Structure 1
Amino acid sequence: MSIVDFHTHAFPEEIAERAMAKLQENCAVKACLNGTLNALIKSMDKSGVQKAVICNIATKPEQFYSILKWSQKIRSERIIPLLSIHPLDSEIKEHVKIIKEEGFPGIKMHPFYQDFAIDDERIFPLYEELTERQLFIIMHCGYDISFPQWDIASPQRIINVINKFPQLKFITTHLGAWKQWDEVERLMLGKNIYMEISFSFGWLSEHKIKEFLLKHPSDFILFGTDSPWADQSREIENLKSLSLPEELSHKILRKNAEKLLGINDFKNS
C-alpha cells in the first residue's frame, strides 16, 4: 500500500547537526535520524513511505524567505515541504499570497517554539488569510515534550479556533493534542476535526488509540511519524498491529492525505 507520512522534519545539510543538537538539549526522546533530507529519504525507502510532508517551523519572522528558498529547492514528487509563518510576521497577507502562488499546500506552526496561544486573536488575520486562500495549517497541539505543560494548544483552544473559522483546514497533531487525550475524547472525538496520529503510540495505550481511530470520522485521520523523532517503519507496524478495517487503514495511510495535498497519482491502491 502507498503511504504518505504527513508529519516529518528535515533541515538543510549545513545546519542539520547544529539544529538537532539544539532540539535534543531538553528532549527525553533520542532522534532516530540525523535530521538531514538524505536520511529521511533513506528511511522512506526502507519503510515504504512514498511521500513525506516536511513541516518547517519559522522561529523568527525573518526566516520566511530562507524557508521558502529551501522548500523550493527540495520539493519533488516525494517531498512536500510546508512553509511556516511566525506570529510576529508583519507581512502575513503577502507571505500567504506567495505560498499560494508558489504552489505549496499549507503551513506548519508550533505554539511552543513560536510563543503564542493558538486561539490568540493576534493570530486571527493569519487564519483568515489561510481560509481565503484555501491553504491548510498543521498545528502542534497538546503539550510538548521539551517544554513545561503550558496551556497554549489545548483541545478547548482548538475548538475555539474551529468555531471561529469553520472553513479553515486546521490539522491537529499527535492524535488531537499530545498528552491531553482525555480532553480530546471529551471535546474533539467524533467531530470533523483533522487529527494526525504521530507520537501517540508508546504514550497512549494501543486499545485507546484504536478506540479513537474507530470513533473519529474516517475522512479526518492522517498518518504521521514526526520523523526524525520516531522511526517510520516502526510507526507503520504500530498502526498495522491495530488490525483496523482495510478501508480505514487506506484512508489513514494515504487517501485522506491525497485529498488535502491535492494529489492522486499513486499507481497502487
Structure 2
Amino acid sequence: MFIDIHTHAYHPKIADKVLAQLEGHYGIHPVGTGEIDDLLARAKAAGLDKVVVHNAATAPAQVVPANNWAIRIHRENPAILAFGTLHTDFPDFERELDRLWRNGIKGIKFHADFQGFRLDDRKLWPIFEALSGRFVVMLHVGDRLPPTENNSCPAKVAAIVRDFPDLTVIAAHMGGYLHWNYALEHLIGKDVYIDTSSTLAFIDDETLRRIVAGHPRERILFGSDYPLFDPGVEIARLRTRLRLRDHELEGILSAGTALFR
C-alpha cells in the first residue's frame, strides 16, 4: 500500500483563505484547490492508495470543530487517514483523545509555529504522555527563523523523543524545513520518522544525501505537502533526486503502512 503521509485538505468555505495564508507565509504558490476531491484525484493519478490529511487548531476553540472535520472526512473517504489536532490550552484533552480514538483517528498533528506555542512548552508534556504508545504524532519542524527563535526546530523535537521513548514521532520536512543541517545534528539516525514533504524543491544535493545515508530507510516516509505540491510531481522528484530504483521508491512509498497496522 502506497501512502502520502503529509497532505492537507480544507472545507470548501475556508480553502481559498487558507491557501492565501500559506502562500503569504511560505512564498509557495499552491498547486491545488486544497479541497478533498482535488487531493484524491491527484493521489489516484500518482498511484497512491491512501493519503494522511492533517489540520492544526490555531486556538483552543478550534480543536473540536477541526476534529469534527477530521472525523467526517475519515469516515466518508476510504482513501483518507485523517489526523486530529490539539492545543496546549485546550481543557480535558484526554476526553478529546478518547473521542478521536473511538472514531478511528490514530494520529495527532501539531504545527507549533501556526498554533502559537513552542515545542518545548511544558504544557505539551502531559499531552505527549497521553499520546505515547497510542497515537502517531506529526510535528511540523523548522521555518525561516533561526532555530533558537523558532517555535519548532530539530533540537526541540530531539528533546521530546528523548523524554517520551514510547511516543511515535514523525518530524516533518526531512527533520526540519530549512533547518536540515540542524536535523543532521539532532535527529538523523535517531528513533524518529521523517517525511519528504516541502524538502525536495529546496534542499541541496549534499545535505539530502547525508540525511538519507544517515537515517534508517524504513523511517523515511513519502509526503507531498499537498496543496503546496502535487503528489505525482513529488514522487518523480523523489526518484530523480535520490536516484532510486523501483523497489527503493516503492519502499519509501509503503513505509508509512507500518504506522497504521
**Structure 1 length as normaliser, TM-score?**
0.89
Distance 1:68 1:186 in 2: 34
Whether 1:174 aligns to 2:166 is no
2:68 paired residue number: 69
Q: How many percent of aligned residue pairs carry the same amino acid?
A: 26
2:82 paired residue number: 81
Superposition deviation, residue 248 in structure 1: 4.0
1:206 paired residue number: 205
Q: Which runs of 5+ in 1 are unaligned?
A: 263-269
Would the alpha carbon gap of residues 247 and 193 (structure 1) be closer, same or farther in structure 2, given more than 3 Å must change?
farther
Distance 2:187 2:70 in 1: 32
2:253 paired residue number: 253
2:22 paired residue number: 23
Q: Which moved more, 1:26-35 or 1:200-209?
A: 200-209
Q: Alignment RMSD, CA only?
A: 1.8
**Structure 2 length as normaliser, TM-score?**
0.92
Would the alpha carbon gap of residues 107 and 25 (structure 1) be closer, same or farther in structure 2, given more than 3 Å must change?
same
Q: Which moved more, 1:15-24 or 1:51-60?
A: 15-24
Superposed, 1:1-40 pairs within 5 Å as 2-40=1-39
Superposition deviation, residue 245 in structure 1: 5.3
1:116 paired residue number: 117
Aligned residues of 2:139 and 2:172 also touching (Cα < 8 A): yes
State the aligned residue count: 257
| Residue identity opposite 1:249 in structure 2 | L
Aligned residues of 1:3 and 1:50 also touching (Cα < 8 A): yes
Distance 1:26 1:112 in 2: 11
1:222-258 per-residue CA deviation (whole Å, 9 max, x = no partner) reads 100110001211110011112235554333111x211
Superposition deviation, residue 260 in structure 1: 0.6
Aligned residues of 2:71 and 2:105 also touching (Cα < 8 A): no
Aligned residues of 2:56 and 2:85 also touching (Cα < 8 A): yes
| Residue identity opposite 1:128 in structure 2 | E
Superposed, 1:223-238 pairs within 5 Å as 223-238=222-237
Distance 2:41 2:205 in 1: 28
Superposition deviation, residue 216 in structure 1: 0.7
Superposed, 1:53-202 pairs within 5 Å as 53-75=52-74, 76-131=77-132, 134-143=134-143, 150-202=149-201
1:155-180 per-residue CA deviation (whole Å, 9 max, x = no partner) reads 21111111111110111000001111
Q: Which moved more, 1:148-157 or 1:179-188?
A: 148-157
Q: Which runs of 5+ in 2 are unaligned?
A: none
Other structure's SS at 1:175 match: coil
Superposition deviation, residue 148 in structure 1: 7.8
Aligned residues of 1:141 and 1:174 also touching (Cα < 8 A): yes
Other structure's SS at 2:5 match: strand
Distance 2:213 2:146 in 1: 31
Aligned residues of 1:218 and 1:248 also touching (Cα < 8 A): no
Would the alpha carbon gap of residues 172 and 118 (structure 1) be closer, same or farther in structure 2, given more than 3 Å must change?
same
Distance 1:257 1:36 in 2: 23
2:243 paired residue number: 243
